[in-house]
A and B are shown apart, each in its own frame.
Chain A
Amino acid sequence: MSKVLLIDDSAVMRKIIQRNIKESGLIVNEFIEAGDGAQALEKVSANELDLILCDWNMPNMSGIEFVKTLRSLNLPQKVPVVMVTTEGSDSKKLEAKNSGANDYITKPFTAEQLRDTLGKYLMIN
């Protein structure tokens, strides 16, 4: 059973990512959604997750703040985090990596880019 948390303030973007994952043949049994980092922290504590996909710019708590907070919790299982964001500069990618993100996808993305990156963390049909 694979469970993925999608964090993005755009409900449409969350749906697009879900559709692309399904069409890519990546196996996900359950998607859980959060509209910002603060909501996401609640979902993390209530679920056993296999992967987290996280936008950067969101109200209340940004994606990078979420990653830093998540990693500071020292959870027994280190859930992989992939940033999915319009922020594409090398400095942002480095900041994400240094904050504890495992991978990075820049919007707009192709289905192939999504499959190639998320295929490291999810089973593929």
Chain B
Amino acid sequence: MTITTTMYDNVIKEIVDSTQEIFATMIPVEITAGESFYQKEENITTDLISLISFTGEHSGIIALFCNKNIALKITSNMLGIEVTELHQDTKDAIGEVTNMIAGSLKNKVCEDLGSMHLSIPVVIGGASLTISSTCKTHAEISLPSAVTCNSRSTWVMLPFSSEGETFNVGLIIKKND
């Protein structure tokens, strides 16, 4: 489902702008933004997930979903050395990118969204991991080919591509009563 208009258009635009600025200055990797879309969480499958939750007048999650190849490319560029395997530096790099995206968003949209308190990034990665939400009747750890994030939320996904590789910045947001 393609997103046409939402009450958070400005937030989405700022995430796109911030992500492009961060990739241009801090990594640096040239990226192209695609068209945003909705995705049910049960359908998300990827190799690395970096999550930052936020609270305040609005609450939600900003996340970076990327496969192994783009994660290695980002890490290699950030460190200035070729990284060929997922390890702590890769998680650290992806977490820091997410931190900068969330921080930049917070700085740019605080007038629209009110104060935001950001968590530190949580990065989950590996070739054989699955997260199962606690709403299921049985806690389970299964072993598919990539990380999956199972819950009932629908994400706004903002896709980006670089030299044939793609990654998504995801957003869940709601106004608190």
Contacts and interface: CB of A to CB of B under 8 A. Distances in A.
A110 interface: yes
A108 B22 contact: yes
Interface in B100-131: 100, 102-104, 106-107, 110, 118, 120
Interface string A1-45: 000000001111101100100000000000000000000000000
B26 A106 contact: no
B96 interface: yes
A12 B120 contact: no
Interface residues of A, number: 20
Determine chain B's interface SS by DSSP, over half rule.
helix
A57 B52 CA distance: 13
A12 B107 contact: no
Interface residues of B, number: 24
Contacts of B14: none
Given A88-B103, A108-B25, A110-B25, A19 B96 contact: no
Contact of B100 (A11, A15, A89, A108): A108
Determine chain A's interface SS by DSSP, over half rule.
loop
B57 to A, nearest CB: 15
Contact of A107 (B26, B78, B80): B26
A16 B102 contact: no
A57 B95 CA distance: 13
A57 B96 CA distance: 12
Interface in A55-75: 57, 59
Interface of B: 21-22, 25-26, 75, 78-80, 88-89, 92-93, 95-96, 99-100, 102-104, 106-107, 110, 118, 120
Interface of A: 9-13, 15-16, 19, 57, 59, 85-89, 106-110
8 contacts: A9-B120, A10-B95, A12-B78, A15-B80, A57-B120, A86-B102, A88-B104, A89-B107
